[in-house]
Amino acid sequence: MEPKNENDDVNLEECLHPEQSIEIVRLASDGAGVGYLNGKAVFVPGMLPGEKGTVRITEEKKSYQRADVAKIINPSPQRQAPPCSVYSSCGGCDLQHINYAYSLEWKRLWVKDALVRIGGIQDVAVEPVIGMDDPWRYRNKAVLHRDQEGRLGYYKEKTKEVIQFDDCLLLSKNINQRIRKLRDILGKDYPGIKTAALRESNRGKGLLLLEGNTKDEVEIESLIRELKEEGTFSPHICSIAIPTNSQDFAGSGPQYLNEHMDDLRFRVSPRAFLQVNSVQTKKIYGIVLDWAGLTGKEEVWDLYCGIGTISLMLAKRAKHVTGIEENPAAVEDAALNVRDNKISNVTLIQGKVEEKVKGLSQIPDLAVTDPPRAGMEPSVIKRILEIKPPKIIYVSCDPATLARDLKILLANDKGTEESYILKKVQPVDMFPWTRHVESIIMMTYSGSKG
């Protein structure tokens, strides 16, 4: 027998990526710890400020590196054990290893950093983030993917690998139960079903939207029958919808939800947008109404109005509201919501905001804008600067695009001292345990009241 070669036990991974000592000094806006090696920033998911440990470099770029944790030597007092069993693989949450109050502090810093670094706004005062008393089971919607093996779950971050779970702690117990039953019903049958979106109203009613390439009417009817016979879905699920060849919906029950806010009722169809956190949504809308300071005499724009939630709330206190929304399904819902709530001072315009806003000539007293994550189109900002509404309230789900837009809106008019002035910045934790943070800002034009 030949003697054992001394290199037989060498770990190739350790040779290629040896462990290096690091100390974390801050959190990046994606939740990764940031330290420095040889003067270059290193992003380390899972490590916290103040922690020392060893890492292995996994990605080398010109100006930064990424690394995986090898060992944490002195855990931060802000660290906690993630309660979710699939936290490390799912990718849906970023911050479950962090104390909740500490995560709110960092979200405020992320908003401030974006406004200063991207927006060029100095000495900006950012209020403490409005968190939740109970930051669990807050989501009213889940979008799940299905693979060839019949697994139903979330995609692992940056992959198409499906991570199946028994209990997502961000979803209500009812939605989790419905997901488990749906997984059992689908099994490996109905292979054309690729995604499932489950929604729940704040009164417990449900909406299930199944999509994929299932066009066989017999198969669709069979699946609907199984779902209806399963007690978990009927009568608690008020509608089951599957797109057909004509893109109409085959299904069971009224194919929409009714969401209630204050004394208003809102219809939500399967493809319309609704905020996923009902508790925090009410707080955000309350702040918008408070900052609007309406007296019943104002003309208001509601840009990216969706199903009309903010439009209708503003309309109760304004003279008139004009809402613009691109999604036809959302505008149809909004029109029905205006009718059903017996509100007569709202005008809805369907189309791209950047196109339709050009046709609005009357100067509004207030412009409210709640764009998607990409922020406002440059032409929308240009039109706002032409019209110069005395007050703007901007609801944003992305600090970076918010800061980009504010940089333009807050720039002084050429040759004058007039400009928009940033009055208030209020972050709200709409998505606990994730990297995301909602922000509400208010601006007034110099010389205008408010």
Instruction: Pick the catalytic residue from 84, 90, 168, 397.
Output: 397
Amino acid at 118: I
Task: Give 227's DSSP letter.
Answer: H
Tens digit of pLDDT for each residue in 100-131?
999 999 999 999 999 999 999 988 999 999 99
* The pLDDT of residue 231: 76
**Does domain 16-79 sit in CATH 2.40.50.140?**
yes
The 10s digit of each residue's pLDDT in 190-243 is 888 899 999 999 888 888 888 887 667 777 888 888 888 887 777 677 677 777
Residue whose C-alpha is closest to residue 401's, from 169, 119, 64, 110: 119
User: In the sheet that 320-325 helps form, which strands lie side by side, from edge to edge?
Assistant: 346-350, 320-325, 299-303, 366-369, 391-396, 438-445, 420-428
Intrachain domains 16-79 and 141-258 with the same fold: yes
CA distance 239 to 207: 5
Active-site residue flag, 168: no
More confident residue, 204 or 416: 204
pLDDT in tens, 123-153: 899 999 999 999 999 999 999 999 999 999 9
Fold of 141-258: OB fold (Dihydrolipoamide Acetyltransferase, E2P) (2.40.50)
Q: What is the mean pLDDT of the chain?
A: 91
Terminal-residue alpha carbon distance, the chain: 89
DSSP per position, 70-108: EEESS--TTB-----TTHHHH-S-S-TTB-HHHHHHHHH
Contact 96, 83 (CB under 8 A): yes
Residue type for position 102: Y
Domain boundaries defined on the chain: 16-79, 80-138+277-450, 141-258
Q: Say what percent of the chain tops pLDDT 70.
A: 91
Task: Let me know: does 224 contact 242? Beta carbons within 8 Å.
Answer: yes
Paired sense of beta strands 391-396 and 438-445, if any: antiparallel
Please, which pLDDT band fits residue 4 given cuts at 50, 70 and 90?
very low
Please report the DSSP string for 326-339 in residue order. S-HHHHHHHHHHHH
Q: How far apart are CA 400 and CA 119, in angstroms?
A: 8
Q: Where does 80-138+277-450 sit in CATH, by number?
A: 3.40.50.150
d(CA 139, CA 154): 14
Mean per-residue pLDDT, 44-72 = 96
Alpha carbon distance 389, 407 (integer Å) = 17
Structure tokens, 66: 């990424």
Q: How far is the C-alpha of 47 from the C-alpha of 34, rounded, in Å? A: 8
